[in-house]
Each structure stands twice: as C-alpha cells, then as structure tokens.
A and B are shown apart, each in its own frame.
Chain A
C-alpha cells in the first residue's frame, strides 16, 4: 500500500460507479425523508405542507401497517426456512454422481430463471385453481376436497410460489459448495464406521455453514422486496392478508397518491432492511477477511 500506488490515476476509474450509486442512494432517500414530513397528495398538488411526524403517526396507527410488517416477517422467514432446509437436503441427495445427474440438476435449478409474474400466474391458475387446477385433480385423486388455495390460504400460497422460485437458488449454491468438500476426508470417516447421519452432521453441515449464511443474506435482500407475485395474484388481499410492506407502500403511493404516507412507509421498509443488513454485512465482511 505504498504512496506510489495510491497516487495512481487509475483509482479514478472507480469514480463513475461510486458516484452513480451514491446519487442513486442519497438523492431519492433524502427526498423520501423530506416527503415523509409533508402532507402531499398528488391529487391535490397545491396543498403540500409540513406536518412533522404525522405521516408516521398515521402509519403506526393504521392496522394494515402492523399486519404488513408481520406478513413481511412471516413471508421472509418461512421462505428462508423452506429453501435452506430443502436446499441442503436436496443438494446432499443429488451430490453423488449417477446417470442423468446433469439433467436432474438442470431441472432442479430451472424455476430460478422463471420471471416472477409467470411463476405467480402459473401457480395460481394452472396449479392451484380450486376447479380446474392440477392440484385440485390430485386432491380428488385421493378423495379429498380441493382446496381454494389463494382464497382460503392466501399467505401460504404466496409463500409456496416464492419458495418454489428461490429453492433452486439454494440448491445451486449448495451443490456448488459441496463440490469442494474433501472427498478423502469423507471416505476416511466412512472407513472409521461413520454412518450417513454422522457424516452429514459433522462433515457436510459444517462445510455448508458459510454457503448457508450467504444464501440467507442474498435471499433476504430479494425477499424483502417481494412485490410482483402479490401484485398479480392477490392484490394484497383478501383484506390485507397478503399485504407486505412493499405492497402497502405501493398502494399508498400509486393507488392513493398519498406521497407523504408512502414515504413514511418506505422509510419503515428501509429501517427494517437495515436491521437485517447490519447482521448480514457483518457476516459477509467477516468471511471476506477470513479469505484474504
């Protein structure tokens, strides 16, 4: 890290990226902060005024707000559990070589490349429709009454769709990580009489600790922003049963045109994400220093 290197003009090459991201982050965030203290509705443009914390007070006393926070936490939490647990089990299952392994892996990671609007509509109609959906047929096959998924179990249905989209991501990461697992160590353990579960518990799982942390972090970033799946299926309903924070802010901003309230809600989303980010960045930062 000599002075010679530091003076190099090449360092300036990073500036465009840094400035663009800085502008992208600071300007809108400052505006959100400002709007959140204003009474400002796009339907009555001339009437904006400073109202202090009234928008926040409005949000905090708005019953749907707490529901949306709870829904966000349930959605993110459930999908994380399903994808991490499912991802670990499936990637261990397909880890040993067998005929057709390549095809099996291709099939397993496919849903990740499907766009959210397609995933949501295919699940809602072709699969989960209570009358003509595929699952209704399966239910009837077993003599059960078909379930009206999106009407009776709305949040569960959204969780199912989103888990299906993100399970492949976990599988992809874990399968890749398992390839660097020391085979000789595994063979030695087997020679010593270690059985399947012991190998999984004491060799595989510790090896996957860091990939799991990474999967949780990356998924959390995207899951906190889930919007399209709700937008095309339930519109946040019935009632506010599937309204998460992004969807609530969307309704305030682009359906009610209440800029002030939407900004206050947006800031709440930012705070929520930041609480998560503090833990996650620390985690990733640690694993970075370990490596270098």
Chain B
C-alpha cells in the first residue's frame, strides 16, 4: 500500500520534472516567438512583458523592407538544390555498396566518413580562392555544390543502411524477371525504400538550410541565404530585437516543423546508421 503510494508520488515528480525541463529547454524559442509579436518598445521593457498587445508590424516590415523573400528564396534554392544533387549521387553509390560490395567497401565507407572530419577551415582558403577565380563568390551554384559535398558522406551512409535492410531476394526476383539494373533500382528499390530516402533528403535539407560557415564566408548579398540575413542583425547591437525575432521565427519555423515530423528517422542518419 505504502509502496504503491510511494511509486505514485515518484511518478508525479517525474512527470512534473519532465515538463519543467522541457519548458526550460524550449523557452528561448518560445520567447523569440513572443518577442516577434511585440513592438520594439515592448521587446526592451524591463521587467519583461508577458502580456502585451500583439502586433504584426515586425513581420510586415521584414517582408517589405528587409527583402526577406530574396533570402528565403536563396535558402530554398541552395538547400533544395544540394539535396537533389546529393541524392542523385548518393543513391547509386549506396546501391553499389549495399548490393555489390567488394573487399574494400567497408574501408571506402569509413574513408567517406572521415572526409566529414576534415575541418572546413582547413580548406577555407583554397575554396575561397577557387570560387574567386571561377567568379563563383556569392553564387548559389557554389553553395549548392558545397552543401551537397559536405552532406554526401552522411547521405551515402544513411541510404546504405536502409538498402542493407532490404532483402536481396526482392531485387534478385526482379532481375529473374528480366529487369535491368536501372529498372530494378527505379521500379523496385526506390519504391520499397522511399521512407528512408525521404528522411535522408530531409536531413540533408535541414543541415543545408542551417549551414552557416560557408554561407557566411562565400556570400555577400545576391546569393546570401537566411543564415546570413539573420547574421546581419548582429551589428547594431540590440536595436531591433522584435524584428530580429520575426526574421528568426520565419527562418526557423519550416525546418522546426519538418524536424518534429521526422525526428525518429533522423537518428539513423545523424549517427551514420549506428543507432536506429
């Protein structure tokens, strides 16, 4: 009897504790969202206002004056382009590794993983100079190629682990029926693993959207994505908090929603297939 009561209390404490921790972790995002609906004056008020007359003024100004859509379009093109390019290269590679392995396949996969460990600054100077000489500074094409390359190892690994889970018999059966490699891939393999492929693409999209090292160093205006637009709010210290919050909310909301929808599937990609 007392044991049960004790368990009940422990459980309640645990649930309350979970909620408190979750709200603390989430608070900065919530606060940003609230601030985005405040007037600049309210945003600075001390003590902070939890209740205030909400306004859409910041969003209107961001859309009208800060040229938000230009940056959003750049983010969509670079992240989307990198995802498409990455998938086109990664799917065939994963196919070869999963179904036609050689003695070296494991080492090649590990080597791919190791390229991910090459720090970006190690190649900053040459990449910057190459882009300058090819007239590709501040170009979306350069960002697409770079984003695709930095995510390629993750994508190959992730798709590889999905393909490995598909029984080879299914492919063999298709081949017996006279299907070519291309047909087997497009008619059998890709439909069967579309869930895995979709989460791989999503992971690449999220990581590219939030990438900030190359997008800050290689763009100035015409190709600058949202990460760079947000960064431009850093200079006049603390002048436009409400607008900063509105831009940030717009820039993060789509990715946050995508992340919520796919949290479980992302684990596999983020851990190179080691945790499922």
Whether A32 touches B125, Cβ cut-off 8 Å, given contacts A17-B93, A113-B252, A121-B244, is yes
Q: Which of B17, B121, B258, B267 contacts A265 (CB 8 A)?
A: B121
Q: Which of A6, A218, A277 contacts B270 (CB 8 A)?
A: A218
Q: Which of A11, A116, A287 contacts B102 (CB 8 A)?
A: A11
Q: Which of B110, B116, B124, B231 contacts A249 (CB 8 A)?
A: B124
Q: Which residues of A contact B43 (CB under 8 A)?
A: 126, 132
Complex Cα gap A105–B29 (Å): 15
Q: Which residues of B contact A267 (CB under 8 A)?
A: 122
- State whether A123 touches B123 (Cβ < 8 A): no
Complex Cα gap A230–B19 (Å): 31
Interface secondary structure of B, over-half rule: helix
Taking the complex as formed, is B106 at the interface, i.e. its CB lies under 8 A from any CB of chain A?
yes
Q: Which residues of A contact B25 (CB under 8 A)?
A: 107-108, 110-111, 164, 167-168
Complex Cα gap A224–B14 (Å): 35
Taking the complex as formed, is A204 at the interface, i.e. its CB lies under 8 A from any CB of chain B?
no
1/0 per residue A160-194: CB within 8 Å of B? Answer: 00001001110011001100100000000000000
Taking the complex as formed, is A85 at the interface, i.e. its CB lies under 8 A from any CB of chain B?
no
Taking the complex as formed, is B179 at the interface, i.e. its CB lies under 8 A from any CB of chain A?
no
- State whether B234 touches A270 (Cβ < 8 A): no
Complex Cα gap A134–B268 (Å): 36
- State whether B248 touches A122 (Cβ < 8 A): yes
Complex Cα gap A107–B23 (Å): 7
Complex Cα gap A267–B124 (Å): 11
Q: Which residues of A contact B272 (CB under 8 A)?
A: 214, 218, 284
- State whether B233 touches A121 (Cβ < 8 A): yes
Rounded to whole Å, the gap between the CB of B99 and the closest CB of chain A is: 7
Complex Cα gap A35–B122 (Å): 12
Complex Cα gap A225–B217 (Å): 13
Report, as a range, how many residues of chain A touch the other chain: 35 or more
Q: Which residues of A contact B206 (CB under 8 A)?
A: 113
Q: Which residues of A contact B23 (CB under 8 A)?
A: 107
Complex Cα gap A8–B99 (Å): 10
Taking the complex as formed, is B181 at the interface, i.e. its CB lies under 8 A from any CB of chain A?
yes
1/0 per residue B63-81: CB within 8 Å of A? Answer: 0000000000000000000
Complex Cα gap A133–B126 (Å): 41
- State whether B231 touches A228 (Cβ < 8 A): yes
Complex Cα gap A270–B230 (Å): 29
Given A210-B274, A231-B234, 9 other A-B residues pairs in contact with their CB atoms under 8 A: A14-B92, A17-B93, A20-B89, A93-B14, A108-B26, A113-B256, A249-B121, A266-B125, A270-B119
Residue numbers of B with Cβ under 8 A of A are 11, 14-15, 17-19, 21-23, 25-26, 28-29, 31-32, 35, 43-48, 89-90, 92-93, 95-97, 99-103, 106, 108, 110, 112-130, 149, 152-153, 156, 181, 206, 209-210, 212-213, 216-217, 226-228, 230-231, 233-234, 238, 241, 244-245, 248, 251-252, 255-256, 258-260, 263-264, 266-267, 270-272, 274-276
**Pairs A–B under 8 Å by Cβ, sample size 20:** A11-B100, A11-B102, A13-B95, A14-B92, A104-B19, A105-B22, A110-B29, A111-B26, A115-B209, A116-B210, A126-B31, A131-B46, A132-B46, A172-B267, A215-B271, A254-B124, A254-B128, A270-B119, A273-B119, A276-B117
